[in-house]
């Protein structure tokens, strides 16, 4: 089997700068390239954006297998994926196939859901990505500002439970906020004194 040295992965919780890194690498490459994002992610329409202002137009797809139709009759070396955990289909089989065809594959993704459970397909990608191409990123806890590796979801001001869907983008029936938390505050309910910190996450994911 061909080496996975052409596989590059940026992973971690929300607010950790994964899309920023992806955009930086994308903009640094002079050769023709292509970038995909999940169609279900409607927060930024057909763009991959970072909170620092970076912005790239991307091709939205539902299933990863859809990308093949965009690769026909074009000469590219680099393929980028943002928010890969949201994509449907056989992620690892497609990535393996792209590597065998000598593409360079760049991926940004959450590694765990709002309950702290690993996304299985992303876990497999982490394991197969060479250590020198594997970048674990951290955010800042929305409560204490210490380094954080957990993503949590609050609905109507309280931590969500395992009865909810794994992925929620928009929900008109309730107020949904995503935050990152450190180990100490992972299970802490919303603290009203931290209005400015919460205001930031509400602005992006209201």
pLDDT tens for the 206 residues of the chain, in order: 456 899 999 999 999 999 999 999 999 999 899 999 999 988 778 899 887 778 899 999 999 999 999 999 899 999 999 999 999 999 999 999 999 999 999 999 999 999 999 999 999 999 999 999 999 999 999 999 999 999 999 988 889 988 888 888 766 667 888 999 999 999 988 654 444 444 444 333 33
Beta bridge partners of 118: 112
CB atoms < 10 A from the CB of 91, how many? 23
Tokens of 184: 């100490």
Domain boundary among 109, 137, 165: 137
pTM of the model: 0.87
Whole-angstrom distance, CA of residue 179 vs CA of residue 202: 9
Active-site residue flag, 166: no
64 CA to centre of own chain: 15
Q: Which of 57, 83, 121, 131 is catalytic?
A: 83
Domain boundary among 137, 169, 186: 137
43/24 same-domain check: yes
Domain boundaries, position 168: 140-205
Between the two ends of the chain, the Cα-to-Cα distance in Å is 45
25/124 same-domain check: yes
Domain boundary among 113, 137, 161: 137
Q: How many domains does the chain have?
A: 2
- CATH label of the domain that carries residue 195: 3.30.60.20
């Amino acid at each position: 089997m061909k080496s996975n040295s052409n596989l590059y992965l940026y992973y971690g919780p929300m607010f950790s700068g994964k899309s920023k890194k992806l955009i930086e690498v994308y903009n640094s490459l002079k050769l023709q390239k292509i970038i995909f994002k999940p169609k279900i992610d409607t927060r930024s329409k057909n763009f991959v954006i970072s909170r620092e202002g970076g912005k790239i137009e991307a091709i939205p797809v539902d299933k990863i297998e859809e990308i093949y139709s965009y690769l026909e009759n074009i000469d590219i070396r680099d393929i980028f994926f943002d928010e890969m955990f949201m994509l449907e289909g056989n992620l690892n089989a497609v990535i393996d196939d792209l590597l065998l065809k000598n593409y360079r594959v760049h991926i940004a993704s959450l590694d765990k859901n709002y309950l702290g459970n690993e996304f299985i397909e992303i876990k497999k990608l982490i394991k197969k990505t060479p250590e020198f191409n594997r970048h674990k990123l951290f955010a800042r806890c929305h409560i204490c500002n210490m380094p954080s590796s957990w993503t949590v979801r609050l609905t109507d001001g309280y931590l969500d439970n395992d009865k909810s869907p794994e992925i929620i983008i928009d929900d008109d029936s309730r107020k949904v906020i995503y935050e990152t938390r450190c180990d100490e505050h992972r299970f802490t309910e919303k603290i009203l004194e931290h209005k400015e910190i919460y205001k930031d996450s509400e602005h992006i994911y209201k």
